[in-house]
Structures are given as structure tokens and as C-alpha cells.
Amino acid sequence: MAGLGVAAFGLAVLFWVIPEHTESVGSGWLTPQTLPQAIAIALIALGIGQAALSIPIEPSPNRDLWRGLAVLFIAATGLWGIGRFGFLYAAPFVALVLMLFAGERRLIWLAVGAVVLPLSVWALVVLVLNRSLP
């Protein structure tokens, strides 16, 4: 299935992405499309080859799959929160949610992760390195 996915991706790049997102030029051995087209064709061939060879994948536990998606969602939400409310307000929540999600329940470590660490990072960047944060 992954091989067919790679081949389909190659086809999409070759017939849609490259024509829509590159400009045509009239000179030179190497046009903007040359290397991407060669890569797309190679991906199609390798994808078909991979599907034909049926190279097995080590299956991941379903629990880890869903939890991985959840972590990515938390991180993306955290990014939105940092952009909306600023680092100093959003980062402690992100850290706390992640630690609780990972199963940490000890108050001392939750306090370190949710308060001390974001404050330390903020102080290092803003006060010591003199750079700004959202």
C-alpha cells in the first residue's frame, strides 16, 4: 500500500503540482521542471517496484498511533495558542497538557514543567539572548 501511495504521489506531482506551480522558460539545459519531473518519474517507478516487492512494514500498536496523532494535535493547538495569546501564557498550558497526557501525576514535576521551565526558556531568550518571543 505504501508503494502505491508513493507512486500516486509521484503521479500527482508530475501531472498536477509541477504544471501548476512552476514557470516555463525557453532556454538552458535545465528548466525549472527538469529535476522535479525526473524525481516524480523515479518515484512512480520505485513506488510500483515497492508495491510489487511487497516490502513488509513493522506494524505499530494502534494505541501509539492514536496517541501520536493526539500529541501532534496538542502541539498544533499549542502553536495556535502561542500565536494568539503569547508564549508566556500559552507555553505553561502546552507543557502541562503534554505532561498529563504522558501520565505524569507528581505535583512537583508538573509544577517544574508548567511553571519553571517555560519561565526559564522565556528568560533565557528574552533577557539573556535579547530576542523577542510571541
Partner 1 sequence: MLDLSIVLAGLQDAFTPTNLLFVAAGVFLGQMVGAIPGIGPVMAMAIAIPFTFALEPLVGISFLVGINKGGIFGGAIPAILINTPGTPDAAATALDGHPLARKGKPLKASKMALYASVTGDTFSDLVLITVSAPLAVVALMMGPVEVFALMVFAFTIIAGLVGSSIVKGLVAALLGLLAATVGLDPEHGTPRFYFGQFQLFDGVPLVAVAIGMLAVSEIVIRLAAATGDARPAVRIAGGALADRVISFGEYWGCRFVMVRGAVIGTMIGAVPGIGSTAAAFMSYAAAKRVAPASEGFGEGALKGIAATESANSAVMGANLIPLLAIGIPGSISAALLISAFKIHGIQPGPLLFETQGQLIYGLFGAMILANLCNLVIGQVSMRLWCRVVQAPEALIFAAALLCCFVGVYVSTGGLFGVTIMLIAAAVAWAMRLLGYPVIVFIIALFLGDNFERTLSQTLVVLNGRPQALLEHPVALTLFCLSLVSVIYLGQRRQ
Contact set with partner 1 (CB under 8 A): 2-3, 6, 13, 17, 21-23, 25, 28-32, 35-36, 39-40, 42-43, 46-47, 49-50, 53, 55, 57-58, 60, 64-65, 67-68, 70-72, 75-76, 78-79, 82-83, 87, 91, 94-95, 98-99, 101-106, 109, 112-113, 117-118, 121, 125, 129, 131, 133-134
CB of 124 to partner 1, least distance (A): 8
- The nearer residue to partner 1, 11 or 22, going by C-beta atoms, is 22
Contact 83, 99 (CB under 8 A): no
- The nearer residue to partner 1, 28 or 127, going by C-beta atoms, is 28
The residues, any chain, with a CB within 8 Å of residue 5's CB and separated by 6 or more, are 47
The residues, any chain, with a CB within 8 Å of residue 37's CB and separated by 6 or more, are 14, 18
Contact 103, 63 (CB under 8 A): no
- The nearer residue to partner 1, 11 or 117, going by C-beta atoms, is 117
Instruction: Tell me the three cell numbers of residue 13.
Output: 506531482
CA angle 129-133-134, nearest 5°? 175
CB of 8 to partner 1, least distance (A): 13
